[in-house]
Each structure stands twice: as C-alpha cells, then as structure tokens.
Amino acid sequence: MYLLTIVTVPTQKIANKISKILVENRAAACVNKVSNVESFYWWEGSIESSNEIILLIKTTDNKYKDLEYLIKSNHPYDVPEIICFEIKKGLSSYLSWIEKETNSRP
C-alpha cells in the first residue's frame, strides 16, 4: 500500500532536516515542501496562528512506523501533525518507484 503523509513544520531549516532524514533512511521516496502556509488551530485553550511549511511525504505502509518515529524524533512540536492517506490510484511507474526507493538499503 502506498501512502501520502502530511506533516507541518515551523521553519525551512526543520523542513529540510526532516526531509533529508526521511529520504536518507529510505522511510520516504520523496518529500515535497509547500511553503508560506498560515495555520489556525486550538492550542492549550486558545486559538493560535502560525506560518508553517507542509511536507507531502510519499512512502509505503511497511515504512510508516519508521517514518513516524523519525518525524517525532526530529520535530520540535509536542504534538506534531502527522496525517496519512492511502494512495488508491496513481501512475503505476511512479508507485513502483516509491516501492523501489523505500525498499533500498540506506
């Protein structure tokens, strides 16, 4: 099963660090960064807002636990946003590439 995982981070530096760690460790085949996102959310009883970067992470089901561990270990938030969706359809050669890259040795 192929997965798209969404993670928000506070800075480009952290986005780059987490992206590199995920790809280097073969927990992800690819990470896209979407910058200049403004988020509004409840935190500790009040509405907060912040500028964030969204990471769009392509991986497989068998790598999800590693991916989540690496994100949590390198993320500055107490409760990082880690949301995962199953990719039901996609270009078969691209999906095969995700499988190949996440199954290679780091």
For the chain, which domains are there? 2-103 (3.30.70.120)
The DSSP element (H or E) to which 74 belongs, if any, is: helix 64-74
Pairing of strands 30-43, 2-9: unpaired
Question: pTM for the full model?
Answer: 0.93
Q: Describe the strand order of the beta sheet including 2-9 as a list of residue ranges.
A: 30-43, 46-60, 2-9, 82-87
Q: Which tens digit of pLDDT belongs to each residue from 19-56?
A: 999 999 999 999 999 999 999 999 999 999 999 999 99
C-alpha span between 72 and 75 (Å, rounded): 5
51 forms beta bridges with 38
pLDDT in tens, 56-89: 999 999 999 999 999 999 999 999 999 999 999 9
Question: pLDDT value at position 105?
Answer: 75
Angle between helices 64-74 and 12-24 (to 10 degrees): 150
**The pLDDT value given to residue 1:** 94
* For residue 106, pLDDT beyond 90: no
